[in-house]
Amino acid sequence: MDARRAWVLHVDLDQFVAAVEVLRRPELAGRPVVVGGRGDPTERGVVSTASYEARAFGVRSGMPLRVAARRLPDDAVFLPVDAAEYEAVSDRVMTALRSLDAVVEVLGWDEAFLGARTDDPESLARAAQDVVLRATALHCSVGIGDTKVRAKIATEHGKPAGVFRLTEDNWSVVMGDRPTIDLWGVGTKVSRRLAALGVTTVAELAAAPVDALVAEFGPRMGVWYHELGHGHGPATVDDRPWVPRGHGRETTFQQNLTTPDQVRSAVRALADQVVRDVEDDGRPAVRVALKVRYAPFVTTGWSRRLPAPTRDRAALVDAMTALADRVEDREVRLLGVRAEMEMPDDADPAARTPVRGRI
């Protein structure tokens, strides 16, 4: 009988995109580096990632490039996104991880879960760091947990280039007093809704009545958020190829769109691109969505479930374009169109989460 315990490890490359760029340009080491858009901070665009040196000045992913430029010193470097290079380096990372005695579940360019039975998960974590470093010269942090949720959150406590263990035994001590936004899967909007219920910390979420959470978030997500407060969740690492939940395209316009005709034309152009992605995918779409960012920087969006799953080009383009009718008569700086796909198994909200680095 195998007495070794099952563990989940979460491997997260430190400042992955910025680190890849520094590898290509060693003279940038130690300087604030920002990757986003076409690499021109005078143009409209947002930060895809920032080096730790840039983050020290308050630069974060999703921030407008112009805002980032105002916060950074003159020696800061802005670079364009090079998705092909990041994908290539990511493949080397995942190949290195697969050399270990563990199941590897890829989450994106820069992160993966490892599943293994071992009596020394810290040794496995250090082995993961070693093989990645030797294969790519990149550093990573590793979180160790007894669930995917705890392993994922543990990684943040190990950054940079460290290892941290978070289990049922120390969950309350480590996480109890932390704000709910520190939980994997809780963003700004959800944390605000929780705060409106009087729930501001992880401990308060764990103690919150399930029926109150269900009333606010629905029967599925209400129960999920309650479980999240305890760090519960799936613990099975799945090495099947990653399946995207959807396909999306978005564009930030250098000049605001000012008329409904311009908006509809832009939405249709994006819809054509998304439908090509859907056709290449092979699965039918079940929902379409439109994201709008008005000038100066107010973002909203809408979605609609399709009458039936479909891959029909005309039906999908028409459904996406119809959402443009909901755009207000205001100047528009960004539009995004997305198709949500039929998934093999949607029963578990954490089983396959959207990943960074893939649109």
pLDDT tens readout for residues 237-247: 999 887 788 99
Whether omega before 160 lies within 30 degrees of 0, making that bond cis, reads yes
Looking at the structure, tell me whether residues 114 and 213 fall in a common domain. Answer: no
Instruction: Tell whether the model's pLDDT for residue 12 goes beyond 60.
Output: yes
Instruction: Output DSSP code: residue 168.
Output: T
Q: What is the CATH number of the domain that holds 268?
A: 3.30.1490.100
Residues 268 and 224 in one domain: no
Domain-embedded: residue 218: yes
Contacts of 314 by beta carbon, 8 Å cutoff, 6+ apart: none
Q: Which residues contact 286 (CB under 8 A, 6 or more apart)?
A: 305, 306, 309, 340, 341, 342
101: containing domain: 11-120+130-143
**Cα–Cα distance for residue pair 354/109, rounded to 1 Å:** 12
27 and 134 co-located in one domain: yes
CATH value at residue 15: 3.40.1170.60
Q: Are residue 257 and residue 212 in the same domain, yes or no? A: no
Mean pLDDT for the chain? 92
Do 215 and 279 belong together in one domain? no
- In the block, tokens 């430190």 appear at 14
Catalytic-residue membership of 53: no
Q: pTM for the whole thing? A: 0.82
Model confidence at 3, pLDDT cuts 50, 70, 90, reads: low
pLDDT at 351 over 90: no
Give the three-class secondary structure for 14.
coil
Q: Provide the pLDDT for residue 332.
A: 96
Average pLDDT for 282-305: 94
- Give the residue among 337, 333, 340 at the shortest CA–CA distance from 354: 340
Please say whether the beta carbons of 111 and 13 come within 8 A: yes
C-alpha 137/C-alpha 19 separation (Å) is: 9
The count of structural domains within the chain is 3
Query: Which entry of 53, 111, 204, 340 is annotated as an active-site residue?
Result: 111
